[in-house]
Structures are given as structure tokens and as C-alpha cells.
Amino acid sequence: MKIMVTGGAGFIGSNFIRHMLTSYPEHSILNLDNLTYAGNLENLKGIESLSHYTFIKGDIADARLLESIEFDAIINFAAESHVDRSILNAYPFLQTNVIGTQCLLEAAKKRKCRILHVSTDEVYGSIEEGLFIETSTVLPNSPYAASKASADLLARAYHETYGLDVSVTRCSNNYGPYQFPEKLIPLVILNAIEGKQIPVYGDGKNVRDWIHVSDHCKAIDLIFHKGKAGTVYNVGARNEVQNIDIIKKILMIMDEKKRHEKRSFTDLIAYVQDRPGHDRRYAIDPTKVETELGWRPEIDFDKGISSTVEWYMENREWWKSILSGEYMDYYKQQYDGRFRE
Ligand code: NAD
Ligand code: TDX
């Protein structure tokens, strides 16, 4: 089977491609990614030369390009993914997350093939108490969340109208290696290493439900192979943490690793203006994927966060080239125009 993974040069997509190439050497993986600021081929270092892996630089919203590519199934990770950026400019979010997803649904419809669309718990909005289930009302609060919710609704419509074999996954906040340093966890680690302030939005008591990226990847693998068409699966590790607690935990781990220095990293914490429309709490119920498909998260949060801190400490070259912007120049020039016309 030739599986087209979109957005495979990003954080979760690259972790997923590694997982698939190891778990299914019989499948070939095609990575379609247009290398936005968040796409980094360094995330895939070491696998470019594998015979069952191919990279295509291209846009998921390019319907003509999609027609020219051969594949048997699609797993869609490609997206604009950062809430703060969507608040500054929603347009690229609608273009990629809505129009792009619609182009992929259309391409899957033409080929009558399976498509798994990777979505987020943010589509449900904020919940003060209890947990969101798959049939909870979709009430997105940021332009990012609204664009993801729109794509989810299109996926549903393509199933109802055309009988498309599509499943949607809604996962909670991921952490782990190769996450772009605009997101909370890598930002805290890198700012601490560089002695920069750590901005805490509002009172720092917003709650997110955290899952290690490798647990998310395994859930997607399972849902792709065994999930029911036309349905949604929540994916989460029942691991709710307040932002300020996660920040303090990371800084404590870093303090422990640097005992010789007098200054504590916790001095770097700075409360700043809140994010507009900042969702107070995300919490999802993953019972469906657990009982229907037997998925369980495997990575304990304390161990996962500690190994993640270590990964960023040991992979300085990876993030230094992101912070300096070098990663874009080198890789983007290499691929520009090569597959487009
Ligand atoms: P990311 O920003 O790290 O990566 C996104 C990738 O998509 C990049 O490689 C980028 O180049 C590519 N891309 C963007 N626009 C494209 C386009 N038009 N055509 C082709 N490629 C394009 O994102 P991520 O954190 O890895 O998230 C992946 C998916 O998972 C997204 O759909 C996101 O909504 C969803 N998700 C993320 C999280 C999380 O915590 N990060 C949680 C739940 C769901
Ligand atoms: O500097 C910061 N300070 C801060 O307090 C940043 C970047 C974030 N925060 C807060 C905002 C959130 O409450 O930390 C929390 C996590 O923020 P992000 O890492 O930006 O993630 P979030 O907004 O929760 O969205 C993430 O999880 C769901 C991903 O970016 C989405 O793609 C995914 O759908």
C-alpha cells in the first residue's frame, strides 16, 4: 500500500512517518509537505534514503498536483497549527486547514480511498468541568480551532454525501521531540537554556491535557487500520496539567540537571498579557478508542517530559538552526520548484 502522509515534515507528521517506516516496511510512504516555516526536513534525517520513502514538496490545496500523484490512502497532518499565529492572521489557516483538507477529501473521493484526517480537541472549545466526548458540540474559540472544526465538518459531509471512507481523530496537546519551538513546552526549554524570559499567558492556570507524540502516532496507526468510517475518535492520555505547573516541572528538571549554576531557571518566569479568547481548560474522554480499538497511552508523563527536556538539551543543532532561520534557507532552496510543474 502507498500511503500519502501530508504535513510529514512537521512535528507529529515526522514522528508518525518514523513510526510507520519502522512498523510497516511493506508499505511505502509518500510525504507531501509544502515546507512552511513549520516544515523541516531535518526532522526526517536518516530516512530520506530509504527506498520505501518519498518526499514531494507541494501544497495540499493544489488539486492538480494531487491528481498527478499515485496513492492508495491519505493521512492528513498538514495544517497551520499555532493558535497565536491564527489570532494575528487567520487567512493561511482557512486556506490550508479548510480548502486544503477539502482538496484532499476530493482526491480521496475520486480514488475511492481511505482518508484519516488528524484534528484536535480544540474544536470542542473550553470546558469547565467534565470531559468532551466525540458527540459533544463543536464550539471553537480561536480562528485555528474554527478552521480545524470546519475541516472536520467537511469530512463528515463527504462521508454522509459520498460514502467516503474517512475517519477523524481529535487529539489533545502533544509533546515530544521535533516540536517547533513556538509551542509552550519547547519554548520553555529553549528560553531556559538561553536565559530568556518564559512568558506565561494570564494567570497560568489554564489546563491542557498532555500526551506524548509517540502515543498519538500509535493511536493514528490503529485508527487508520481499524477505525470505523464516518466517525470521530478522541485521543488523549487523561493527563490534565495547569500551564504553570508544567512550566515549573520543566524548570525543576532543568535545575536538577545543572546543579553547579547558582541561578535558578524559575527566576525566568514572567506573567504576560493573556491570549485573546484563551481556552481555560481542555479535557477529552478517550474511552471510545480504548474500548473499540484497545489503544492505551504507554508513556508516563513525568518520564516523557524528562526525556523530552533531555532531547532538546542534546539536539542543540536542530533548534539552533531553527532559531537562526538557517533551516529554511538550505532545505527550501534544495526543493523549490522541483516537483511543482
Ligand atoms: P506542525 O505545524 O509542526 O506541522 C505542520 C506541517 O504541515 C508542516 O510540515 C508544514 O510545512 C505542513 N503544511 C502546512 N501547510 C501545508 C500545505 N498547505 N500543504 C502541505 N503541507 C503543509 O504541526 P503539528 O503540531 O505536527 O500538527 C500536525 C497536525 O496535528 C495538525 O493538523 C494539527 O492541527 C494536529 N494536532 C496537533 C496537536 C499538537 O499538540 N501539536 C494536537 C492535536 C492535533
Ligand atoms: O508562550 C506561551 N505561554 C503560554 O502561557 C505559549 C506559546 C503558550 N502558553 C499557553 C497557552 C496554552 O494555554 O500554554 C498553553 C499551550 O499553548 P500552545 O503550546 O500554543 O498550545 P495550544 O494553544 O494549547 O494548542 C496546541 O494543542 C492543540 C497545538 O498548538 C495545536 O495545534 C493543537 O491542536
Residue 187 lies in a domain: no
Alpha helix (H) residue ranges in 112-142: none
Atom of ligand 1 nearest to the CA of 100: 18
Residue 65 lies in a domain: yes
Residue identifier of the C-alpha nearest atom 12 of ligand 1: 7
Range of the domain at 291: 2-176+210-237+278-301+331-335
**35 Cβ below 6 A of ligand 1:** yes
Residue 32 lies in a domain: yes
What is the 288 CA–ligand 1 centroid distance (Å)?
A: 24
Atom of ligand 1 nearest to the CA of 179: 3
What is the 79 CA–ligand 1 centroid distance (Å)?
A: 4
Residue 324 lies in a domain: no
- Site to probe by mutation for ligand 1, drawn from 4, 5, 11, 94 as the one with most ligand atoms within 8 Å of Cβ, is 11
**What pLDDT is attached to residue 264?**
78
Residues facing residue 6 across a β-bridge: 32, 76
| pTM for this prediction | 0.97
Residue-level pLDDT, tens digit, the chain, 341 residues:
999 999 999 999 999 999 999 999 999 999 999 999 999 999 999 998 999 999 999 999 999 999 999 999 999 999 999 999 999 999 999 999 999 999 999 999 999 999 999 999 999 999 999 999 999 999 999 999 999 999 999 999 999 999 999 999 999 999 999 999 999 999 999 999 999 999 999 999 999 999 999 999 999 999 999 999 999 999 999 999 999 999 999 999 998 887 666 677 888 999 999 999 999 999 999 999 999 999 999 999 999 999 999 999 999 999 999 999 988 875 555 655 443 32
Residue 189 lies in a domain: no
- Domain with residue 106: its CATH number is 3.40.50.720
Distance between CA atoms of residues 283 and 241, nearest Å: 10
CB 166 within 8 A of CB 229: yes
Distance between CA atoms of residues 319 and 302, nearest Å: 23
Residue 326 lies in a domain: no
Predicted confidence (pLDDT) per residue in 110-119, tens digit:
999 999 999 9
- Residues marked active site are found at 121-122, 144
Of residues 94, 32, 41, 96, the one with CA closest to residue 67: 32
Residue 307 lies in a domain: no
Predicted confidence (pLDDT) per residue in 211-264, tens digit:
999 999 999 999 999 999 999 999 999 999 999 999 999 999 998 887 666 677
240-242 and 207-212 beta bridge pairing? antiparallel
Atom of ligand 2 nearest to the CA of 79: 32
**What pLDDT is attached to residue 337?**
44
Residue 271 lies in a domain: no
Domains in the chain, number: 1
**38 Cβ below 6 A of ligand 1:** yes
**208 Cβ below 6 A of ligand 2:** yes
